[in-house]
Amino acid sequence: MPRERSTPQERRLRLKFALQMTAVLAIYIPVLLGSIELIEANPDAWWRFAVALLPLTLFIAGALTVLRYVLQEDELEQRISLMALSIAFASTAIFTFAYGLLQIAGAPDASWTLVWPVMGVSWLIGGIVARRRYR
């Protein structure tokens, strides 16, 4: 099924999403690094668990940004997003399960915070695959 180039409305929606995600990430990264540094400098502080969860608020903001973006897409774009997210879900599950098995064999422990970057990269790859299908 041949697909025309994206409409101005689709381009505006993608640009708005990119700007919002960039803003969330621009705030998330220093908050994450700052909270890690603060916790490492105060390992016995009573407030360390609250500080550890501060980056979660921005993570939730990013998730809501994705949800808003998908809800504003047209039906074809939603189908493409569903396929991309399905690929990301499956590949992240395979990767994390495989690494869990490797840990049983002696691979070093990995932080759970690495799952999100794996999912993000998988989502980008899934988006490329899904878009090619509907060219």
pLDDT of residue 116: 85
Q: Which of 126, 70, 66 lies closest to 95, judged by CA?
A: 126
Query: Which residues in the chain come in under a pLDDT of 70?
Result: 1-4
Sorted by where each begins, the domain ranges of the chain are: 1-73, 74-135
Q: How far is CA 119 from CA 3, 7, 103, 106, 126, in A?
A: 27, 28, 19, 24, 10
pLDDT of residue 1: 45
pLDDT of residue 6: 76
pLDDT of residue 117: 87
pLDDT of residue 4: 56
pLDDT of residue 3: 53
pTM for the model: 0.76
- Give the pLDDT confidence of 99-134 residue by residue, as tens digits: 999 999 999 999 888 888 899 899 999 999 998 988
